[in-house]
Chains A and B, each alone.
Chain A
Amino acid sequence: MSVFEELKKIIVEIKDIPEEDIQLESKFAEDLEADSLDIVEMLMLLEEQFDIQIPEEEAAKLKTVKQVVEYVEARINENA
């Protein structure tokens, strides 16, 4: 499953919103109404799913779906 697909699945689970509402451009706070705990939980699940670590200072910079997807893909490629 692609990072985007996985992230969508996680957001649907956490926020209980329809999958089609989640776009690459979506901003977590403004568009998806995700609070800091939602985002922490989301990143935690991604860390587990893809066996990566997202340091706190990096996590704080991730504001959109696209940023997370790109960040996680970069970490996966580093591990590969």
Chain B
Amino acid sequence: MSGKTVLVTGSSRGIGRAIALQFAQQGYRVAVNYYDNPDAAPELNQENLQQAQQVLKEIEAAGSSGMVVGADVSKSAAAQEMVDKIIKEFGQIDVLVNNVGINKDQLLLRISDDEWESLISTNLSSAFYCSRAAVKHMIRKRYGRIINISSVVGVSGNAGQVHYAASKSGLLGLTFSIAKEYGVRGITANVIAPGFIESDMTAGFSPEQRSKMLNGIAVGRLGTPEDVASVAVFLASPGASYISGQLIRVDGGLSSL
């Protein structure tokens, strides 16, 4: 057992869920964050909670332990409260994985102010709020691993994803700067840029979109959430302690979008 703790934002499903489970398999105690919005319909929060509880069950089945913590991490106060709760329960956050993300494809000309702000706050501000709150504890321990989940789109841009790509690019600057600012305090920060991964986000693609996508992928298949999770686990492992401020593409050799 590693005896360490990890917080994975947005880990009730998709890539976040896979990351939470793989950390559990390595003996980490895992805080499973799910989206809980006090203003949303109770059924929606309830569904997210149930998914998070299911992830926790699987964590326990893997022989580890954890907690579920609902929060809308795109809001500063909610993110801070969540971190406080985890510190109270676990005493520390050794690894923070900023994974939470949403997408809503739209042409620049049709993106509303609300859509822009919603993507930026959910995908980028959430990582800022959670990192700020967690680093405060990490510097005292002189140890911390911050892993941000960006996207290849954040590196190269993509038509129809101006807001999504901008938020994901923002994660690169956030990561590189944290790496420089807190390296002397034993904290590393790295960013993973997944390519096309089988998840809710790619589930809606048409067969044509799918085959076009596959043509550009060197290894000839879509990635799995597990493909991304294993890299996140590696970046938190002792073997990766000299890797910091890096962007790691997990995209199967994607040539172009």
Contacts and interface: CB of A to CB of B under 8 A. Distances in A.
Nearest to A38: B184
B133 to A, nearest CB: 12
A37 B181 CA distance: 8
Contacts of B184: 37
B249 interface: no
B92 to A, nearest CB: 15
Contacts of B139: 41
Interface residues on A, range: under 10
A37 B136 CA distance: 12
Nearest to B185: A37
Interface of A: 37, 41, 44-45
Contacts of A37: 181-182, 184-185
A44 B136 CA distance: 8
Contacts of B182: 37
Chain B interface secondary structure, helix, strand, loop or mixed?
A: helix
7 contacts: A37-B181, A37-B182, A37-B184, A37-B185, A41-B139, A44-B136, A45-B140
B63 to A, nearest CB: 35
A41 B187 CA distance: 14
Contacts of A44: 136
Q: 3 tightest CB-CB pairs across the interface, nearest first?
A: A41-B139, A44-B136, A37-B181
A41 B186 CA distance: 14
Contacts of A41: 139
A74 B140 CA distance: 26
Contacts of A45: 140
A44 to B, nearest CB: 7
Contacts of B181: 37
Contacts of B185: 37
Nearest to B181: A37
B19 to A, nearest CB: 29
B222 to A, nearest CB: 42
Contacts of B140: 45
Interface in B119-147: 136, 139-140
Nearest to B136: A44
A41 to B, nearest CB: 6
A59 B181 CA distance: 19
Nearest to A45: B140
Interface in B216-248: none
B146 to A, nearest CB: 16
A35 to B, nearest CB: 9
A44 B140 CA distance: 10
A12 B136 CA distance: 19
Nearest to B139: A41
A64 to B, nearest CB: 23
A41 B140 CA distance: 9
A41 B136 CA distance: 8
Interface in B160-212: 181-182, 184-185
Nearest to A40: B139
Nearest to A36: B181
Interface in B77-136: 136
A45 B137 CA distance: 11
